[in-house]
Amino acid sequence: MSQPLTRPVIDRFLEIVVHCLRSTVGLEAVVAAMAEPAASSPTIAVALDFCGDVRGPVTWVFPEAIALELVRRLLADPDPDPEAAPDGATELANILTGRATEALEAHGFQCAIGVPRIHVGELPGGTAVRMATSNGPIDIVLSMSTSTLKTIPIVHA
């Protein structure tokens, strides 16, 4: 049996994401709504899977401009090739997810994240969050759940 992440865990996860966006790509972001994402074009969707006490994917939907900003900063290239946008999006998703995992660990969950991959097709169900930025919205779908049963080791005397 599993249950969705609680609101305090999601709020802390998002707080870390906002801080990390500012420090990583110099972008101010504000949580605008928790609702179904409505992707605008052109966007790049990236998913990462969690395993451990938290299981399931987190899916990020970035405007190409935000993905290219990370490429611009990492490569010190003022005009990166637009074909590098998917690489920038997967790296940004990896950075943000890795940093936001701190929120899960602070709530006592042990978890690991998988390798980021481009997501094609319909977004998964879950808690959808839209973050407003000057470079377009970032949508996040938190499809992770936690186990309701904690295993307690048996100690024999």
Question: For the chain, where are the E strands, in sequence order?
Answer: 2-4, 29-34, 43-52, 54-63, 111-113, 117-118, 127-133, 138-142, 145-147
Q: How far is Cα 76 from Cα 99, in angstroms, rounded to an integer?
A: 23
pLDDT digits (tens, 9 = 90+) for 104-124: 888 888 989 999 999 999 989
pLDDT given at position 37: 52
Using one digit for the tens of pLDDT, what is the confidence trace for 40-49? 557 899 999 9
- pLDDT tens figures, 81-103: 999 999 999 999 999 999 999 88
In this structure, the chain runs to a length of 157
Structurally, at CATH architecture level, domain 2-34+42-147 sits in: 3-Layer(aba) Sandwich (3.40)
pTM check: above 0.85: no
pLDDT category of residue 36 using cuts at 50, 70 and 90: low
Give the percent of the chain with pLDDT over 70. 87
